[in-house]
Structure 1
Amino acid sequence: MSIETEKISVQEQFDELLVINDDARMHAFLDEQNISDLAELIYDNEEYETYIISTLSIHRASGLFKILEHTTQKNIIKALAPYKTAELLNELPPDDRTAFLEDLPNEVVRELIKTLNPEERKVTLSLLGYPENSVGRLMTPDYVYVYENNTVKEVLETIRRVGKNSETIDVIYVINNKGELLDDIRIREFILASPDVKVLELMDGRVISLKVHDD
């Protein structure tokens, strides 16, 4: 059988299983394919890229994910269910996980690091370039942050939504789109302010912060 025929066969079988809508058979079929063929299947069927990753066993999904182009990886992570994202990122080899994360915005990295178990989180922060005992290594990703153009109403909604999973809610951190700290504001300031007041109006710019690589 030629390589071209084999590739067509994989696509045809995939199409047939989509019509049948049998997840168990699709799982077995995808798990039997070569990783390189699965990568091509994803590139030829972008609308099913997340479905393919989700249907594979986690070990096979990890092996496939790490060879995909970064743009495709980002699209998949964005669309995956949170529990699948956690499974996939924890399964990835540390070097491959770091290669994926290091080109993402800080805000996105912070959210994805939350999905890692403690040991994998420690390894990943180290590989991302944060020395032992640096601020970046010691900072918990579990804090409440908002943006300067948010209103007080939006801030309070954010606190209600994510505050229960945060280690610190007495102080709310203001960041920019790059994930850089602009200010910190005590929660009482938001409670006492009018709902339509912007965060920018409450900022005093006196925050004391360290760079993530500082000791």
Structure 2
Amino acid sequence: MEDKLEENYREELEKLLLAKDYRTLRKKMEDMNVVDIAFAMDEMDDEDSLKLFRILPKDMAADVFAELELDDQQYIIASMSDTEASHIIDNLMADDATDLLEEMPANVVKKILAKASPETRADINHLLRYPEYSAGSIMTVEFIDLREMMTVEDAILKIKRRGLDSETVNICYVVDNQRVLKGTVALRYLLIREPDELIGDIMNTKVISINTHTDQEEAALTIQKYGFTAMPVVDNENRMVGIITVDDVVDILQEEATEDIEKMAAILPSDKPYYKMTTWETYKKRMPWLLFLMISATFTGAIITGYEDALASYVILTAYIPMLMDTGGNAGSQASVSVIRGLSLGEIEFSEIFKVIWKEIRVAVLCGVTLAGANFIKLLVIDKLALPVAFVICATLIVVVIFAKFIGCVLPLVAEKVGFDPAVMASPLITTIVDAVSLTVYFTIAVSVLHINV
């Protein structure tokens, strides 16, 4: 329903733009939410999107711009004069402006910042000092700071003066003269307190904060854990330097989840939407892993070649290779996805590796025995196989499921420990390893049970 409404908005704006009815178009956008306008612009071609942006009321332009996709922002900024671009940058929150300028060519950034206000330049340069993907790089420096000796009346006056330029006024932060974080005060408490009460007497001193160098995903999970709408960011001396708000958290978690899904599907991560990527860009993201997995999969061919005599003696064994490999890959994927999710949410740590292995082994034994039992009946009753051959297939199935779940839970934990992304150790890589092991186990058991000469 919501998607249909947004599509209707886009079609209506495009019709007005095509008819050059700019007065009605401007009036229409004045009554719309900035998010809906940004969605419509993202779906238009670049030239129409730019025209629409230029028609926007000036007081809405920066808010709409902040909601656009990054490549649309870059196109609009590149199409503007330096003065116009600087005006947009000045009206963005510092974290949004920094994210944009980080992706722009250096010569363009230099021109824009040259005409930006000194305060904007200072805020952006401040944020650019922090490592990429750290809490410091995504925080905003626009927040309300109070002093302990302020009265409630003074605090409310300050909020009125600076509220429009702040990311949020729902929570205010109490700092001392060295900007060391002392406490927080919610706006609703200020509204119900007496005007002459001191901030130091009513503030909450049990403050949870994030360090500037904390990884952005860890910061997002911390905010999610405590259910905060905003969280203060401090340096190593506990001096407050910014805040991260819940809208940042949503963006981070979406970005991290997308990145993990892409890695688990053997695709190099990209920050562009699907339809914004060219065919060549999509090819470059997918080809490296496909090439690696194809080469690694040749090991399974080498294993089959090494057991040609076994296959020649019992050709029927060939028919069950896909089932064994697929089951092993699926079992390994189940374990890896569960462990990767646990690592992402902070539910599992490397120190618990033996606890995880013990649980997965028990699950694997139950799954393996169940699958083998069901398969054994099917092999004897439907496929009419000899008992020894059915035994070889089912015994292999149990071993493969146990090994797959072991590998599926261990590899992500080891990857996390040595500093790799656990998502890289997901389905494609685990499946390749399990395939090779499945064939080796299969033919080893077959040779032993069926007394085949290799």
Q: TM-score range by the shorter chain?
A: 0.5 to 0.7
Displacement of 1:129: 1.8
Quick one: distance in 1 between partners of 2:79 and 2:33? 24
Q: Is the 8 A contact 1:94 1:120 kept in 2?
A: yes
Quick one: distance in 2 between partners of 1:73 and 1:15? 19
Quick one: distance in 1 between partners of 2:10 and 2:2? 13
Equivalent residue for 1:52? 52
Equivalent residue for 1:16? 15
2:16 alignment partner AA: L
Secondary structure of the 1:21 match is coil
1:38 alignment partner AA: I
Deviations 1:155-214 (CA, angstroms, capped at 9, x unpaired)? xxxxxxxxxxxxxxxxxxxxxxxxxxxxxxxxxxxxxxxxxxxxxxxxxxxxxxxxxxxx
Quick one: distance in 1 between partners of 2:118 and 2:124? 10
With over 3 angstroms needed to count, the CA separation of the structure-2 counterparts of 1:121 and 1:32, relative to structure 1, is: same
Quick one: distance in 1 between partners of 2:19 and 2:36? 21
With over 3 angstroms needed to count, the CA separation of the structure-2 counterparts of 1:68 and 1:108, relative to structure 1, is: same
Q: Is the 8 A contact 2:34 2:63 kept in 1?
A: yes
Quick one: distance in 1 between partners of 2:105 and 2:60? 27
With over 3 angstroms needed to count, the CA separation of the structure-2 counterparts of 1:25 and 1:39, relative to structure 1, is: same
With over 3 angstroms needed to count, the CA separation of the structure-2 counterparts of 1:58 and 1:7, relative to structure 1, is: same
- TM-score, normalising length: structure 2: 0.26
Quick one: distance in 1 between partners of 2:105 and 2:14? 36
Unpaired segments of 5 or more residues in structure 2? 131-454
1:124 alignment partner AA: I
Secondary structure of the 2:38 match is helix
Displacement of 1:98: 0.9
Secondary structure of the 2:67 match is coil
* Structure with max Cα Rg: 2
- What root-mean-square deviation, in Å, do the aligned CA atoms of Structure 1 and Structure 2 show? 2.2
Q: Is the 8 A contact 1:54 1:80 kept in 2?
A: no
Q: Is the 8 A contact 1:58 1:87 kept in 2?
A: no
2:14 alignment partner AA: D
Alignment of 1:22-171 (within 5 A): 22-46=21-45, 47-129=47-129
Displacement of 1:92: 0.7
State the number of aligned residues: 129
Q: Is the 8 A contact 1:54 1:84 kept in 2?
A: no
Larger helix percent = 2
Q: Is the 8 A contact 1:50 1:80 kept in 2?
A: no
Structure 1 residue 6 and structure 2 residue 40: aligned? Answer: no
1:7 alignment partner AA: E
Quick one: distance in 1 between partners of 2:69 and 2:19? 30
Quick one: distance in 1 between partners of 2:108 and 2:71? 14
Displacement of 1:10: 1.5
- TM-score, normalising length: structure 1: 0.53
- Between 1 and 2, higher relative CO (CA 8 Å, sep ≥ 6) is seen in 1
With over 3 angstroms needed to count, the CA separation of the structure-2 counterparts of 1:72 and 1:19, relative to structure 1, is: closer
Taking only the aligned residue pairs, the percentage that are identical comes to: 24
Quick one: distance in 1 between partners of 2:15 and 2:89? 30
